[in-house]
Amino acid sequence: MKLYCLSHPYRYELEKLVTLFYPLEPITVRTALDGDAGDCLVTALEPNGDAVTATARLTVGGRVTESSGVFGKDANWERELALLAFDLLTAARGFTPQWGILTGVRPVKLMLQKTAEYGEAGAVRYFEDVLRVSPQKTELARTVAASERAQIDSVPQNAFSLYVSVPFCPSRCRYCSFVSHSVGTPAAQKLVPEYVDRLCDELRLTAAAAREAGLSLVTVYWGGGTPTTFTAAQLDRVLGVIEREFDLSACREYTVEAGRPDTVTREKLTVLHDHGVGRISVNPQTFSDGVLRAIGRRHTVADTERAYALARDVGFDVINMDLIAGLPTDTPEGFENSVSHAVELGAENVTVHSLALKRSSALVTEHGEQSLDFGMAPAMIDTSRRLLTAAGYAPYYLYRQSRSLGNLENVGWCKPGTACLYNVLMMEEPRHILAVGAGAVTKLVRGDTLERVCNFKYPFEYNSRFALLAERKKRINAFFSE
């Protein structure tokens, strides 16, 4: 599919919009007509006296449809062009994206902004009438925004979260595009001991910066990758540094992702629990052994159940389970069974993801996107909403990923009183996040602006260029002394 952007700079948004309708095709963008008569969307803005004429012309299989409008100089031309194109694409493809023209990954952030501007009813109207978001998705965004608002308001302005990145996994899942290194390879395995050393160094630097700035630690979150790829001794060491270096007296939650059941042992769970970790994730993704094999997860359903039972036995208060809708070889019945199984086990949090077709994942590079049936995902997401709502869970955070099946969302569901505050703070970015480890991004908040301090992405760079990274992180001290 070709996208022509004539006399306007809105290429990025329009390309994302076209991708919603042609998720499996490359989109080629041109800024001038080139005489190609194939399938294409031509978008243009032309001056028209005191106004501007916006035009969208869609050619699909030789059939041409066109729509245009005249808009004042103060109009949002980008949005008007997107709406013209949206109507043509919807008619041509026979498919109406449930999130309308909203292509951003943080719909709740927008709902919160619009609620502050227009009030809740005005924000709902904006989503439905202006952005063409379906009533059901608008209601989801409204519910999550209201829940998030309450969470955010409870956190003092000088609070911060500590994020610890562990970009290692026992092996690579076939749908993954994350930079995580599989410790199944000797090269990656060799990096881990030095990585742990540097992580401890960076934690000390970060704690000193937080103390100097008078910040108060409110949540700690270890993500990845799979933090429980570390040995029990490595976990113990890093947890000990956090305990000694940071004031945890105001810390409201401490979470460690133990996502891969094949990394979970009683010894590791006991170390985590003894250091005050109260929440973990044990991620089934699916409760079907056949689907687990298809996605290259080297564990079974029985392993997930064993890890979950161990975590309960060791005493974790809140356990999250991630599930994915739209996995290869899964079926609507299989997915329904997965959601029901997580509910029956009693997970306090269930996070339902829509499979994203990441270009660098093995799923796409080895088999091509065409091998995936993305038509099932919307029904699966509906099923999860129905089952989780009936079981007393409420949606408390949501985000979207680019190239997700059916342009759908990922939603964190929780039983009352068990929402993960870090997830809300990470998604809406209202408070500082001090992040350590490879690929980690520190976010410093001042009013409505956010400054990012990025660490090296890959563990080998993180290990070998740590002195440079430490220099870069002095920016945190500078930020708070400005």
Q: Is residue 82 a contact partner of residue 12, using CB atoms and an 8 Å limit? A: no
Shortest Å distance, C-beta 301 to ligand SF4: 16
Shortest Å distance, C-beta 250 to ligand SF4: 30
Shortest Å distance, C-beta 394 to ligand SF4: 25
DSSP state of 374: G
CA 98 vs. chain centroid, Å, equals 18
Shortest Å distance, C-beta 353 to ligand SF4: 10
Shortest Å distance, C-beta 351 to ligand SF4: 12
List the strands of the sheet with 409-414, edge to edge: 394-400, 409-414, 349-354, 318-325, 279-281, 253-257, 216-224, 159-166, 432-436, 441-446, 449-454
Shortest Å distance, C-beta 361 to ligand SF4: 9
CA 316 vs. chain centroid, Å, equals 24
Shortest Å distance, C-beta 174 to ligand SF4: 9
Q: Measure the CA–CA gap between 233 and 226, rounded to whole angstroms.
A: 16
- In this chain, which residue has its C-beta nearest to ligand SF4? 176
Task: Please work out the total of residues on this chain that contact ligand SF4, with binding judged by CB under 6 A.
Answer: 11
Q: Which is nearer to ligand SF4, 96 or 402 (CB)?
A: 402
Q: Does 438 bind ligand SF4 (CB under 6 A)?
A: no
**DSSP string computed for 390-434:** HTT-EEEEEEE-TTBGGG-EEEEEE-TT---HHHHHHHH--SEEE
Q: Which is nearer to ligand SF4, 169 or 235 (CB)?
A: 169
Q: Does 176 bind ligand SF4 (CB under 6 A)?
A: yes
Among 226, 234, 292, residue whose Cα is nearest residue 264: 226
Neighbouring CB atoms inside 10 A of 299's CB total 21
Give me the 213-232 binding string for ligand SF4, x by CB under 6 A, dash otherwise. Answer: -----------xxx------
CA 297 vs. chain centroid, Å, equals 20
Residue 43 in tokens? 């978008």
291 burial level (CB within 10 Å; 0-12, 13-18, 19+): buried
Q: Which is nearer to ligand SF4, 236 or 257 (CB)?
A: 257
Q: Is residue 334 a contact partner of residue 153, using CB atoms and an 8 Å limit? A: no
**Kindly report the CA angle at 189 between 263 and 467, in degrees rounded to 5?**
115
Q: Does 178 bind ligand SF4 (CB under 6 A)?
A: yes
Q: Which is nearer to ligand SF4, 172 or 432 (CB)?
A: 172
Q: Measure the CA–CA gap between 414 and 352, rounded to whole angstroms.
A: 11
Site residues for ligand SF4, window 348-377 (CB under 6 A)? none
Site residues for ligand SF4, window 136-175 (CB under 6 A)? 169, 172-173
Q: Which is nearer to ligand SF4, 142 or 400 (CB)?
A: 400
**Bridge-based pairing state of the strands 2-6 and 40-48:** parallel
Shortest Å distance, C-beta 470 to ligand SF4: 26
Shortest Å distance, C-beta 300 to ligand SF4: 15
Q: Which is nearer to ligand SF4, 142 or 353 (CB)?
A: 353
Give me the 297-336 binding string for ligand SF4, x by CB under 6 A, dash otherwise. Answer: ----------------------------------------
Shortest Å distance, C-beta 182 to ligand SF4: 7
Q: Which is nearer to ligand SF4, 225 or 459 (CB)?
A: 225
Q: Which is nearer to ligand SF4, 172 or 198 (CB)?
A: 172
331-368 burial, b at 16+ Cβ within 10 Å, e below that, comes to eeebbbebbebbbebebbbbbbbbbbbbeebbbbeeee
Q: Which is nearer to ligand SF4, 102 or 169 (CB)?
A: 169
Q: Which is nearer to ligand SF4, 110 or 176 (CB)?
A: 176
Q: Please list, in sequence order, all residues whose beta carbon lies within 8 angstroms of the beta carbon of residue 233, skipping any fewer than 6 positions away.
A: none
Site residues for ligand SF4, window 249-288 (CB under 6 A)? 259-260
Q: Name the site residues for ligand SF4 (rule: CB under 6 A).
A: 169, 172-173, 176, 178, 180, 224-226, 259-260
